[in-house]
């Protein structure tokens, strides 16, 4: 089954890390990309670069900022091929954001 792992980070949590820890954490993200089960991944640029688009009555409405004005910010994602939810949860637990005050949402991807 394919699982999307949506990463929500506590703002500033990664930047606050000392240099060597930051490098280690960066390595952990990279290791997950290199995992044979990883199908896709993406790191988003900071929330300040976000733009939200809606279309109402045929008109495109554009606003500055992310969709959800929450404390935690959606910052990136992985898509993994895993046998079951427990395997996906284990992978999600390895994502540094989860232990640095953020959270990872795990949802199966619709397969056609």
**Binding residues for another protein (CB under 8 A):** 1, 82-86, 88-90, 106-108
Give min distance, CB of 81 to another protein, in A: 11
User: C-alpha 98: how far from its chain's center?
Assistant: 10
Residue 4's nearest CA partner among 38, 53, 54 is 38
Nearer to another protein, 22 or 77 (CB): 77
Give min distance, CB of 3 to another protein, in A: 8
Give min distance, CB of 63 to another protein, in A: 33
Nearer to another protein, 70 or 84 (CB): 84
Give min distance, CB of 76 to another protein, in A: 21
Nearer to another protein, 16 or 109 (CB): 109
CB-based contacts of 59, cutoff 8 Å, min separation 6: none
Nearer to another protein, 1 or 16 (CB): 1
Which token pair is 46?
């900071």
Name the helix (H) or strand (E) containing 103.
strand 103-108
Instruction: Region of 36 please: left (phi>0), alpha (psi -120 to 50) or beta.
Output: alpha
């Amino acid at each position: 089954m394919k699982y999307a792992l949506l990463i929500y980070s506590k703002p500033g949590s990664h930047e606050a890390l000392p240099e060597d820890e930051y490098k280690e954490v960066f390595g952990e993200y990279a290791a997950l990309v290199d995992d044979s089960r990883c199908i896709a991944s993406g790191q988003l640029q900071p929330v300040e670069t976000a733009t939200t688009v809606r279309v109402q009555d045929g008109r495109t409405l554009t606003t500055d900022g992310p969709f959800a004005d929450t404390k935690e910010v959606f910052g990136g994602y992985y898509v993994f091929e895993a046998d079951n939810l427990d395997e996906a949860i284990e992978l999600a637990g390895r994502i540094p954001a989860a232990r640095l005050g953020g959270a990872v949402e795990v949802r199966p991807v619709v397969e056609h």
